[in-house]
């Protein structure tokens, strides 16, 4: 069965600083990887996804992630954090099911931004 | 595009009553819908997967008689929590998709059982 590990429960960065959120996955086949963001009391918004091809993936809001098969990682990065980026971030791996992908989520990383 | 709504956004009910939560795909036909449960400060746990016109597939440990899922059309799935108890209080999130595409998430429903 697939699994996702997000080692950092809570990260605090200063506004304007760079950010990297870590994600490691375990999956026996080619992984389909996702990063989602969730604001308090809200649903999830997709930041970016990796299915195949270029291992550096660009997403919305200036985020990017790099798929490293050798390290089983899919870390999320942003060069300059804005106060509005404060939220919960979830990494997920998709497993092919009957007609769709099933997602397994990591436990999430809460991002706090200091003005 | 790809908007998913949930209704209600918040519901408070008494112990022993049943609560229905609706999940709608507003601008696409969802062949598959998923129901998740999220406890405070925790991740999303998949409860069940439902394909239109078929019975839902429940994850291990999820009581199908307690969490009734109906996916009667390509735009609507419902989750009914039967005989709710305080331990069922949680944040319930649905998602919808079509084929092998990303899942589009609803805004969630906060259920509080008194």
Confidence of residue B39 (pLDDT cuts 50, 70, 90): confident
Count of C-beta atoms within a 10 Å radius of residue A33 = 21
* A87-111: pLDDT as tens digits: 999 999 988 766 677 899 999 999 9
* B45-101: pLDDT as tens digits: 999 999 888 889 999 999 999 999 998 899 999 999 999 999 999 999 999 998 777
User: Is B42's pLDDT higher than 90?
Assistant: no
* Cβ contact A97–B93 (<8 Å): no
- For residue B42, give the nearest of A36, A43, A107 by CB distance: A107
pLDDT for A99 equals 61
* A4-36: pLDDT as tens digits: 999 999 999 999 999 999 999 998 777 899 999
pLDDT for B1 equals 66
**Distance, CA of A37 to CA of A113 (rounded, Å):** 15
Does residue A40 sit at the B interface (CB-CB below 8 Å)? Answer: no
Q: How far is A71 from chain B (nearest CA, A)?
A: 23
Percent of chain B with pLDDT over 70: 99
List the beta bridge partners of residue A75: A66
pLDDT for A40 equals 85
Q: How far is B27 from chain A (nearest CA, A)?
A: 17
């Amino acid at each position: 069965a697939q699994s996702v590990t997000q080692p950092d429960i809570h990260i605090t960065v200063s506004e304007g600083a760079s950010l990297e959120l870590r994600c490691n996955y375990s999956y026996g086949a080619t992984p389909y990887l996702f990063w989602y963001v969730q604001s308090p009391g809200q649903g999830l918004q997709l930041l970016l996804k990796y299915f195949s091809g270029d291992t550096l993936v660009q997403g919305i809001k200036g985020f990017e992630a790099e798929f490293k098969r050798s390290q089983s990682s899919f870390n999320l990065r942003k060069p300059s954090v804005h106060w509005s980026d404060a939220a919960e971030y979830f990494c997920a791996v998709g497993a092919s099911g009957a007609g769709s992908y099933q997602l397994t989520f990591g436990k999430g990383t809460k991002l706090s931004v200091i003005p | 595009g790809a908007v998913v709504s949930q209704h209600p956004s918040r519901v408070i009910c008494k112990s022993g009553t049943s609560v229905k939560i609706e999940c709608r795909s507003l601008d696409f036909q969802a062949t598959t819908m998923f129901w998740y449960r999220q406890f405070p400060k925790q991740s999303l746990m998949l409860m069940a997967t439902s394909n239109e016109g078929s019975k839902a597939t429940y994850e291990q440990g999820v009581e199908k008689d307690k969490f009734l899922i109906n996916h009667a059309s390509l735009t609507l799935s419902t989750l009914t929590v039967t005989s709710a108890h305080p331990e069922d209080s949680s944040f319930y999130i649905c998602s919808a998709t079509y084929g092998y595409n990303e899942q589009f998430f609803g805004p969630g429903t906060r259920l509080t059982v008194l």
